[in-house]
A and B are shown apart, each in its own frame.
Chain A
Amino acid sequence: MLSILRGFLILTAFLMLGDITVELFALPLSSGVAGMLLLTFWLLLRRRLSHDLTAASQPLIGMLALLIMPGVVGIFFQADEFSGQWLAIFIALILGTLLSSLTTLWLMQHLVSTPRERPHE
């Protein structure tokens, strides 16, 4: 239990660091993302993952679906705002995702099977 709290302290401290970095350099990032990047760099430098950090991050990541629920629910109460846009939204999402899935599979498959091929060299 104390381990989780220590890990939570580290995570929140990195969130604060992220917040400070974003504010100070006027970065177009959310403080959470900045904190995540800083934490990753710090871990890459240290090359060691403490038990505290794993203990705190695992339950938090497992809770993500719960944490985003209040945002998801909003769509039911703000649907009027986008009336008349729904067809465009659905076409963009469905067609766009189909095309991007196709592109990724094609690119990755070609690059994995012919690793020596370098189109720009």
Chain B
Amino acid sequence: MSELLLRLEILTSELPQRPETAIVLTLAAYFAGLRLFGWLRSPAWCPPILLAACLLAGLLALLPLDYTEYRHGVGWLTWLLGPATVALGVPLYQQVHHIRTLWKPIVLTLPPAAILAAGYAVGIAWLLDAPPTVLASLAPKSVTAPIAMGITQELGGSVSLLMGALLITGVMATLSITLLARWGNIHDQRVIGFALGLNGHAIGTVRAFDIGPTAGAFASLGMSLTGVFTALWLPLMWHFLG
């Protein structure tokens, strides 16, 4: 009996560090988040990933599990982000024909718009005396998460703060573009879709597909191009400005 207790004790100290524990918790929270999202009738201001992250944070806080231990255990899952980022090249290739039909507005809009998407936020935060870590975490705020994570690591930002920034940006871009398009009397799905993808990454793209397939296609194009363009210019500019 005492031997059994001893083994139980060893198990409780080992279990939190195992990959399966971290992966079970992550997957369970993910599906619970999706279920909850359905129950709440899919609110646009609260993407399922936010619900799932809150549930997972609650689980981690309740269980005798350290965040660093969890990060270590879940490494196998986060590694998959690498091949998943590479996989984004496939939809980018599939969207290329849209560039051919409307290349001039796209080529002329993308650089200033993508630079300003980062520039406004970094400029405002800098004026408000935010430290360099915060600036580096906010800079890729309009870039789709897997690419943005790579960028912020290059710049020396915090991945966690970036994730929060991505959520707020996505929700805010979706709201402001919907309202601005209504006030400005803009009905062109290509314009609205491109703006949604460029500013609101994946969250904006989901909204664009609600508007229509054309808006969705231009949103995924805007999202991919912004990701690629920002991944190229932002680290270079950052090193240049010091």
Contact = CB atoms under 8 A, between A and B. Distances in A.
Interface string A22-64: 0000001111110111111001100001000110110011011
Nearest to B96: A44
A104 B169 contact: no
A92 B138 contact: yes
B164 interface: yes
B149 A68 contact: yes
A90 B5 CA distance: 50
Contacts of A91: 124-125, 128
Interface in B215-231: 227-228, 231
Highest count of chain B CB atoms <10 Å: which of A28, A78, A103, A105: A105
B146 A88 contact: no
Interface residues of B, number: 105
A80 to B, nearest CB: 12
A73 B49 contact: no
A75 B188 contact: no
A69 B112 CA distance: 31
B90 A53 contact: yes
A102 B176 contact: yes
Interface string B200-211: 101000000000
Nearest to A113: B188
A65 B105 CA distance: 31
B81 interface: yes
A63 to B, nearest CB: 7
Q: Is the interface of B mostly helix, strand, loop or mixed?
A: helix
A109 B150 contact: no
A10 B240 CA distance: 35
Contacts of A68: 49, 81, 145-146, 149, 163
Contact of B161 (A38, A82, A96): A82
A4 B54 CA distance: 32
Contacts of A87: 128
Contacts of B194: 104, 108
A39 B87 CA distance: 8
Given A90-B168, A102-B180, A32 B86 contact: yes
A112 B81 contact: no
Contact of A100 (B52, B74, B117, B165): B117
B78 interface: yes
Interface of A: 8, 11-12, 14-15, 18, 28-33, 35-40, 43-44, 49, 53-54, 56-57, 60-61, 63-78, 81-82, 85, 87-109, 111-112, 115
Interface of B: 22, 26-27, 29-30, 48-50, 52-54, 56-57, 60-61, 67, 70-71, 74, 77-78, 80-94, 96, 102, 104-105, 108-109, 112-113, 116-117, 120-125, 128-131, 134, 138, 141-142, 145-147, 149-151, 153-154, 158-165, 167-169, 172-173, 176-177, 180-181, 184, 186, 188, 190-192, 194-195, 198-200, 202, 227-228, 231-232, 235-236, 238-239
5 contacts: A68-B146, A70-B26, A74-B71, A95-B121, A107-B109
